[in-house]
Structures are given as C-alpha cells and as structure tokens.
Chains A and B, each alone.
Chain A
C-alpha cells in the first residue's frame, strides 16, 4: 500500500511547450485565475441588471423575494459550502499524495453538487406550479406584477447560468476523481485537482452572492 502510494505512476513529463512540470503547473493555475476573472465580469453584467431593476422597483422586488423558497435556498447554501469544504480537503489530500482520500473527497464533492442540483430542481418545480416562470407560464396579479416578473426573469437567468456552472463542475470533478483513483497524481503533480478546486470555490462564491440577493432582500423590510 505504502509503495503504491509513493510511486503510483511514473512522474509525468511536461507537455512539449513547457520546460518543466513546475512551469506547466504555474501556467495551469494562472490560466484558471484569468478565466475566473472573465467569469466575474460574466456574472457582473447580470448583477448590474439586478441592481438597476431592484433600485427601480423596490416594492416589486420585495414582494417577489417573499415568493422565494428560503428553506430550500438555505439548505442549498449549506450543501454548497460543505462541498467547498470537501473540495479544499481533497486538494489538501492530493498535496500529501494520498490517493484514495483524494478520490473519496472528490466523490463527496460531486455528490453534494448533485444534491444541490436536485434541490434546485425541486425549487424550480414548485415555482413552475406557482406560475412564476416568466415567458412560459407567468401569472401574477397586482400593481407589482411587472416587477415580480423582472425579478423572476433575473432569478432564472442567474440561477440557471450558475446551475450550468455547477453541472460543468460535476463533470470536471468526476474526471479528476477517476484520475486520482487511478493514481495519476502525486505530491509533485496534482495540478488538475488544484485547478478544479479553484473553479469549484468560484462557483461556491457566486452562490454566496446570489443567496442574499434572491432569498433575503425581500424579507428584510416590514
């Protein structure tokens, strides 16, 4: 066991464009950071739209916010934060060359992510039955109907695109998990685990912003 752990696979050689593995690792994690900068601006456009709409229709947004499913939203926040914890732990295990714990922790992360998506699905279903889906079956009366529709338009755009990111994350984590299980990583080379971790924490942070904007704002006032 210990032999298998120490020398699971021969150390990989860098791709032809790199001089050393260290250079390759640095490039990979730096590349992910740059990509995350892109992502910040990608979500930023929608958050600006949200800020403008909420500023224009405070009453409508408060009303819409009270329709949101705060219980599911809160549970999902816990689920996603926990998945970030298992992810961080997986990176730590990989750093110490612990093959199986790395794979198991990645599996836990992926399962928590799936749980998040499942709960989100339940939430979407409830919203569908309550006729809160703009453009498809929206039905809302009262003076704030338009603003409520705007809120839900942004809600579905934001959580939908976040959901796509979660789905991509599950794919990345699954691939990394299989590679970890097969012993592709070692103390000297675990860049894919680290880079996947960076991405996953970003997906988590986006949710940290979405949670109060969606579930809490409508409940703060009278």
Chain B
C-alpha cells in the first residue's frame, strides 16, 4: 500500500507570506464585511458546523428516548425534538453544506477565476442564512415547533400549538440564501471561466454544483411561496390548504414536494461532485466516462423535478398518477447508477491508496448504493404502501443524506483541508474517524430498515416492546457515530495550530485549485491560468519527483 501524502514541492512560497487568511486584515470587521469567496466559505463552514451539532444534539436525544418503549420525554417534547432535528439538518446543514462551503471556496479556484461573479451577493447570502438560522433557533428556544420538517397542512396552519410562523419565516429566508448562491454559481460557471477552460474541461465538482444550482434557483421559490401561503393561512385563518376552509391539503403536498424532492438532489449532487474528485486522485486514474458523469448530473437535476408525488402514494392521488410517478422514480435511478458504475470503473486497476478522504469516499459509494437501491423499493407502489411512514423510509433517506452526503462532506473536508488551511491533519486519527463513522452509521440505520419492514411507525415517541432490541442496536450505533463526528473536531483543530505545512499540492492532484499556494492568495492566482488539458490527467504511478 502506498499513500499519496507527500509534503509538496520545496519551492512553494512559505505559508503566511501572502494568503487570504492574512491579506486584507485579520480583524472581525474584515471577516464580517469580506467579499472574498474563500472567507465567506469559512464563515459558512463555522456556521453550518454549529447547526450540525444543534441538529445532532436533537438526534442524540431522539435515540436516547427510543432506547426503551416508554421513553423519557413526553410526546410533546419528542415531537419538538424530531421537528428541530429535521428543520435544522435539512435547511441549515444539508442544503448549504457542500455548495456553500466547498463550492464557495473551490468553484472560482477550479475554473481559474478571481472570485464568484457577485461577491456582495455571496456575502448577503451568508447574512440571510444567519438571520434565518437565528430565527429558527429563536423559535426553538421560546417553545419549539411540532409539525415535522414537512409542515403538513392543515395541522401546521390550523392546529399546531408551536411557533410555526417563526419557523416558516426562517425557512423562507434560508430559501432566499440558497437562491442567491445558486444564481451566483450559475453565472460564475458561465461567465468567469479562465481562458481554455471549456465546459468539458470543468472538474465534475463544478458540474455537480452547477446542476445543484439549477435546482436551487428553480425549486426553492416554489417552497418559499408555499410556506408564505401556509403562514398567511395560519395568521388569518383563511387559505387554500385547509379542507375546512374549502382548501386542499394535497395541493400543499404537491407544492411542498415539488421543492422537497428536488431538494434531495440539492443535498446529494454536490456530494457526487466531491466523490468524483477524490476517487480519481486516490486511484491515480482519470475519471472513467467523464461525459457520462457530467450528463447524469444534469439529467438528475431535470428528471428530479418530475418525481415528487412518490411522497404521496398513500395521500389520495389517483392510481394513474401513482403509476406515472412510480415509473419516473425508477427512471431517475439510472443516472445515479451510472455514476456509481463510473466510480467503481475508475477504481478498477487503479493505484489505490486508502487515505482518509478515500475512506470516506468509498464509504459514500457503498452507503449511497444501499440508500439508492432501497429508494427503488419505495418507488414501487405496492411495497411503498406497506412501509409508508415507517422506519424503512427513515433508514432509506438517512443512507442517502447521512451515509451519502455527510460522508461526502467529510471526504471533501479532509481532501481540501490542506488547501484551505495550509496544514495537514493527523492521518491515522482521520482514518479511525472515517471507520467509526462508517460502522457507527450502519449500526444505527441498518436496524431501522428491519424495524420499518416489521411495521414500526416513524415519528412516534413510543413503540411496541418487541421492537426494543433493534432500537437498542440503533441507539448504540448512534453513540459510535457521535464519537466519529466529534473526533475530527479535535484532530482538525489540532492541525490548525500544530499540523505540518501542507505545500501547494499534498495529494499530487490535478486541478487548478492545486496549482496555487496553500492557503491561496486573496485573488487566487498570481496570473490568470490558461487551461490546455482535460481534468483528471492522473497516471497509474506516482509522478517521478514524488517517489
């Protein structure tokens, strides 16, 4: 086995001479008013980490409650806990996670630009995100919300006794933050590419974020207006979603899932992008079938708009509609499968090294595949009726969102950490955390497939005694997972101060972001680079000077 970790070329400029962390001042003001996409990415990283731990704390309490059938919380508290977990994790961690941190940091670097097209808009996006996040936390602190993250009407608009309008306002505002980010990425990808950076020379990470941005721009406004309608309905007791007022709850569900199914791809497509960068680098091979990977991202972002009603098979839509949406949901599995085949084909006969980013990436491929395949179960009408609103569904989307997206987030975090901070982390600790997360995750969520199949309903504070053994497994797994998530805090934090200097290109990777120093200077490149080659020009053996 080999490792691609080399300390970089010696003629690299010494860190601290000129980089975005020190250039332009180190005062709080210089950070809060910055227009540098890299600094805004750091602001985002710090804030989503905070929300990740808020959402994670709620998850911990949920698993704690489910260790015994009677539990420790009242139903009311439990309802607030899973709602908090859902809202925070979806809108304040998963949606912004990779795009707003790594996307923000890397897209300009990867395309050879000095910044995003609209730096002020980028900063505004972060402020909107923070305002939304604080509003959500405020709603939680003064009493919470018990609607679930889905805000189903008429419960949310008429009967819920929580602070629904505040939570709706928070999500509404967060939506505009992601619209602005998507807009910025689209314009940047079109208009800011360096000379020679043709569309087919773009790294897949840029393509994935581009596909994500299309969804952000076209789906999020529908969520925004839908939530606004719910809020008005709740405030004025008049509206179109409550059947008692002549409205239709199914209309709400259609509008909500018109956003929230594509939102699943907002959450996973950037992860595909990260994996497509990491796998070729640590297999030392060009990405297999580049154009297929690229176009499957675009295909997903388009077809993703036409499968939403698979969340409503038991809600009362017609059988005909159910059949159409079922079929389309099968269709969208094809481009996702293409990606998995391409990554595994990239591994084939590669010179594979198992550094931490690669461990996370391999974990992603396995867990995403399980999540994707169980998604096909749920696309099947008959099976879906059996497991709707059970833990089978919970397990399925956690395999995608946590096993997939969070693994991809960590893969990217470790892969680009040396670029962002200029430091290396402790490799063995990182590998241990990766393994803990992988095994902890499976122990947490695999039992939930079984529980769901056996009939345990989701969102209940209690359950039948015969389900307890699997629940104990699940909660035990959650503790392992928690350790795995806390560990990086320590070794990454340590690396910030004591880590070895990284050099420009510690992984001997291709890609423009590795051609500039680590951390990069404020304007990214001393001279605007000219691109002459397609991405991922890896060779099976390490470069001669690295041996």
Q: Which listed residue, A31, A44, A134, touches B187 by the CB 8 Å rule?
A: A31
Question: Is B378 part of the contact surface with A, judged by Cβ < 8 Å?
Answer: no
CA distance A53 to B217 in the complex (A): 26
Task: Tell me which residues across on chain A come within 8 A of B247, comparing CB atoms.
Answer: 150
Task: Tell me which residues across on chain B come within 8 A of A42, comparing CB atoms.
Answer: 221-222, 224-225
Do residues B187 and A34 form an inter-chain contact, with CB atoms below 8 A? yes
> Told that A135-B237, A135-B238 touch, could you supply 9 new A-B pairs with CB distance under 8 A?
A17-B108, A17-B115, A31-B184, A38-B179, A42-B221, A150-B240, A153-B239, A157-B228, A157-B232
CA distance A171 to B418 in the complex (A): 45
The residue in chain B whose Cβ has the minimal distance to the Cβ of A31 is B187
Task: Tell me which residues across on chain A come within 8 A of B237, comparing CB atoms.
Answer: 135
Do residues A17 and B238 form an inter-chain contact, with CB atoms below 8 A? no
CA distance A166 to B219 in the complex (A): 23
The 5 residue pairs across chains A and B that have the minimum distance between CB atoms = A135-B236, A42-B221, A17-B115, A45-B225, A146-B246
Quote the shortest CB–CB distance from B357 to chain A (angstroms): 29
Task: Tell me which residues across on chain B come within 8 A of A43, comparing CB atoms.
Answer: 225
CA distance A157 to B225 in the complex (A): 10
Beyond A49-B229, A49-B251, A134-B238, whether A17 also contacts B119 by CB under 8 A is yes
Question: Is A26 part of the contact surface with B, judged by Cβ < 8 Å?
Answer: yes
Which residue of B108, B113, B224, B239 has the most chain A CB atoms within 10 A of its CB atom? B239
Do residues A154 and B240 form an inter-chain contact, with CB atoms below 8 A? yes
Q: Which listed residue, B184, B246, B523, touches A16 by the CB 8 Å rule?
A: B523
Question: Is A9 part of the contact surface with B, judged by Cβ < 8 Å?
Answer: no
Do residues A57 and B246 form an inter-chain contact, with CB atoms below 8 A? yes
The residue in chain A whose Cβ has the minimal distance to the Cβ of B248 is A52
Do residues B238 and A48 form an inter-chain contact, with CB atoms below 8 A? no
Quote the shortest CB–CB distance from A87 to chain B (angstroms): 23
Question: Is B245 part of the contact surface with A, judged by Cβ < 8 Å?
Answer: yes
Question: Is B186 part of the contact surface with A, judged by Cβ < 8 Å?
Answer: yes
Question: Is A19 part of the contact surface with B, judged by Cβ < 8 Å?
Answer: yes
Beyond A45-B221, A57-B246, whether A30 also contacts B240 by CB under 8 A is no
Do residues B113 and A17 form an inter-chain contact, with CB atoms below 8 A? yes
Do residues B240 and A49 form an inter-chain contact, with CB atoms below 8 A? yes
One digit per residue, 1 when the CB lies within 8 angstroms of any chain A CB and 0 when it does not, for chain B 253-281 equals: 01100000000000000000000000000
The residue in chain B whose Cβ has the minimal distance to the Cβ of A56 is B248
One digit per residue, 1 when the CB lies within 8 angstroms of any chain B CB and 0 when it does not, for chain A 129-170 equals: 000001110100000001101100110010000000000000
CA distance A136 to B237 in the complex (A): 10
CA distance A138 to B246 in the complex (A): 15
Task: Tell me which residues across on chain A come within 8 A of B255, comparing CB atoms.
Answer: 45, 48-49
Question: Is A187 part of the contact surface with B, judged by Cβ < 8 Å?
Answer: no
Question: Is A4 part of the contact surface with B, judged by Cβ < 8 Å?
Answer: no
Quote the shortest CB–CB distance from B165 to chain A (angstroms): 14
Do residues A45 and B183 form an inter-chain contact, with CB atoms below 8 A? no
Do residues B248 and A39 form an inter-chain contact, with CB atoms below 8 A? no
CA distance A45 to B238 in the complex (A): 17
Task: Tell me which residues across on chain B come within 8 A of A138, comparing CB atoms.
Answer: 238
Q: Which listed residue, A34, A149, A150, touches B186 by the CB 8 Å rule?
A: A34
Task: Tell me which residues across on chain A come within 8 A of B222, comparing CB atoms.
Answer: 41-42, 44-45
CA distance A44 to B255 in the complex (A): 10
Total count of chain B residues near the partner, CB < 8 A? 43
Beyond A17-B114, A30-B190, A147-B246, whether A134 also contacts B225 by CB under 8 A is no
Q: Which B103-122 residues sit within 8 Å CB-CB of chain A?
A: 108, 113-119
CA distance A186 to B68 in the complex (A): 73
Question: Is A1 part of the contact surface with B, judged by Cβ < 8 Å?
Answer: no
Question: Is A178 part of the contact surface with B, judged by Cβ < 8 Å?
Answer: no
Quote the shortest CB–CB distance from A172 to chain B (angstroms): 15
CA distance A138 to B179 in the complex (A): 36
Task: Tell me which residues across on chain A come within 8 A of B184, comparing CB atoms.
Answer: 31
CA distance A45 to B255 in the complex (A): 7
Task: Tell me which residues across on chain B come within 8 A of A149, comparing CB atoms.
Answer: 238, 245-246
Do residues B217 and A153 form an inter-chain contact, with CB atoms below 8 A? no
Quote the shortest CB–CB distance from A165 to chain B (angstroms): 13
CA distance A42 to B236 in the complex (A): 21
Do residues B221 and A39 form an inter-chain contact, with CB atoms below 8 A? yes
Do residues B183 and A31 form an inter-chain contact, with CB atoms below 8 A? yes
Quote the shortest CB–CB distance from A124 to chain B (angstroms): 16
Task: Tell me which residues across on chain A come within 8 A of B153, comparing CB atoms.
Answer: none
Question: Is B191 part of the contact surface with A, judged by Cβ < 8 Å?
Answer: yes
Question: Is B220 part of the contact surface with A, judged by Cβ < 8 Å?
Answer: yes
Task: Tell me which residues across on chain B come within 8 A of A49, comparing CB atoms.
Answer: 229, 240, 251, 255
CA distance A134 to B236 in the complex (A): 8
Task: Tell me which residues across on chain A come within 8 A of B528, comparing CB atoms.
Answer: 19
Which residue of A19, A41, A44, A149 has the most chain B CB atoms within 10 A of its CB atom? A41
